[in-house]
Amino acid sequence: MTRIVVLGAGYAGTMTAVSLAARTRRREDVRITVVNAAERFTERLRLHQVAAGQRLADLRLPELLAGTGVEFVCGWVTGIDAAARTVRVDDERVLEYDTLVYALGSVADTAAVPGVEDNAHTLDSADSARLLAHRLAGSHGTVAVCGSGLTGVEAACEIAEAHPELDVVLLGRDEPGAHFTPKAKAHLDAVLERLGVAVRVGVEIVKVTPDSVELAGGGGVAADVVVWTSGVRVSPLASAAGLEVDDRGRIVTDASLRSVSHPRVYVVGDAGAIRQSFGVLHGTCQSGLPTGAHAAASIARELRGKEPRRFRFGYLHVPVSLGREDAVIQFTHPDDSPKGWYLTGRRAVWYKETVSSSPWSTFARVRRTPNAGLLAWRRGGRYTR
């Protein structure tokens, strides 16, 4: 019996599990176990909508996995023994594995700046987003969204649109949409202005207090609610287990997504330092799904006595929702540099909604046709969404 354990059931981990189950459905010598902290699937692409008070579909992982033969274990991973090939769950259960798929992802980095952990809200989970929604519902005054990246932009727009009575301030080092083409960025800027989002860039946040965001050089922004979207960190479990990690704690992988120090461990999603010709992948659903599909295909190849193939990936787009009525889609070259082509307005809204809703339906297709995960989009030998 070959025991395969998948840690984490986000976009990448779920793709690995359903694809691998489909590829091994006729084998009685393979047992797949998925460990996740909750039964509900978290649509991270939509957490800014939850924060604005919207209700999402109740997507349940046990229902998706029913009939696949995959065992679902609900619990927190508390330790990995890479030498003994075991995983500890909630400090009570111990799972043995022959192959491990590490898909524990990342969370907002609330440790980098004093006061964030105690005084700021994050968009790490449905629970944290609902907590923010509850806080906003009874608030007045100013909401400071810290981080001018795409998550911060989506959160600021969604909150401003849903709560026009609040003053929303977006704080960050870089201009929102700094890597967009000028016309796409101009549209993003125009929507921020239309929604009343005040933008302050070129600032460094040094502390968050219960009622303000303090900036380097003195001064700050008074805030009744602070939303933290600046930077992410990964779990220390991999480093503690002795797996080779980079300076950000991400597991260093070989060309086929295996840990360079422990080749029985595959790494998918944003917990891995996955290098391509243009650099290390940044964590997105766009790259996470193909890593999961590739890991499943590679493990299936190994079960047949073959070597796994090299993972090759290229980006396609940067979809950004700007509230419910607008969006901007910046299409990109495989290395994530912008192309001249972009979408805005209602066409972009439809496109972004399609992107946000597609993972769950993709999982359902992969249950029946495992290669669907690899063939969702393929160009020049590179996998994309």
- Asked if the model's pLDDT at residue 374 lies above 70, the reply is no
Angle between helices 182-194 and 150-162 (to 10 degrees): 30
pLDDT interval class at 373 (50, 70, 90): low
Eight-class DSSP state of 91? T
pLDDT tens digits along 198-216:
999 999 999 999 999 999 9
Is residue 290 within 8 Å of 314, Cβ to Cβ? Answer: no
For 369, residues 6+ apart whose C-beta sits below 8 A from its C-beta are 22
pLDDT tens digits along 81-115:
999 999 999 988 999 999 999 999 999 999 999 99
CATH number for the domain running over 116-228: 3.50.50.60
CA distances, 11 to each of 61, 193, 267, 285 (Å): 11, 33, 13, 6
Torsion of CA 283, 286, 292, 294, to 10 degrees: -110
Q: Which of 307, 306, 310, 305 is nearest to 290 (CA)?
A: 310
Mean pLDDT of 27-36: 96
Phi, psi of 356 (to 5 degrees): -65, -35
Report the DSSP beta bridge partners of residue 160.
none
Q: Would you list the DSSP string of 168-194?
A: EEEEESS-TTTTS-HHHHHHHHHHHHH
Q: What percentage of the chain exceeds 70 in pLDDT?
A: 96
For 275, residues 6+ apart whose C-beta sits below 8 A from its C-beta are 253, 281
- Asked if the model's pLDDT at residue 243 lies above 50, the reply is yes
Q: How far is CA 382 from the centre of its chain?
A: 20
Q: What is the pLDDT of residue 372?
A: 62
Rg, the chain, Cα only: 21
Instruction: Express the helix, strand and coil content of the chain in percent, nearest 5 each.
Output: 30, 30, 40
* Domain definitions of the chain by residue range: 2-105+235-315+358-383, 116-228
pLDDT tens digits along 337-352:
999 999 999 999 999 9
d(CA 103, CA 11) in angstroms, rounded, equals 9
Torsion of CA 275, 276, 279, 283, to 10 degrees: -70
Q: Does domain 2-105+235-315+358-383 have CATH number 3.50.50.60?
A: yes
Phi, psi of 302 (to 5 degrees): -65, -35
Same fold, 2-105+235-315+358-383 and 116-228: yes
Token duo for residue 104: 């524990």
Mean pLDDT of 271-293: 93
CA distances, 58 to each of 39, 40, 41 (Å): 10, 7, 8
| CB atoms closer than 10 angstroms to residue 256 | 18
d(CA 113, CA 179) in angstroms, rounded, equals 25
Q: What percentage of the chain exceeds 90 in pLDDT?
A: 91
Q: Within 13 Å and on the Cβ side, how many CA atoms surround 155? A: 30
Token duo for residue 321: 């929702």
* H-assigned helices in the chain: 11-23, 47-51, 61-65, 116-119, 126-137, 150-162, 182-194, 237-240, 285-303, 345-368, 372-375
Mean pLDDT of 20-49: 95
d(CA 272, CA 281) in angstroms, rounded, equals 8
Q: What is the pLDDT of residue 176?
A: 97
Eight-class DSSP state of 8? -
Is residue 262 within 8 Å of 98, Cβ to Cβ? Answer: no
- Asked if the model's pLDDT at residue 75 lies above 80, the reply is yes
- Whole-model pTM: value is 0.93
Q: Which of 232, 227, 261 is nearest to 244 (CA)?
A: 261
Token duo for residue 102: 């590490």
Eight-class DSSP state of 84? T
d(CA 188, CA 184) in angstroms, rounded, equals 6
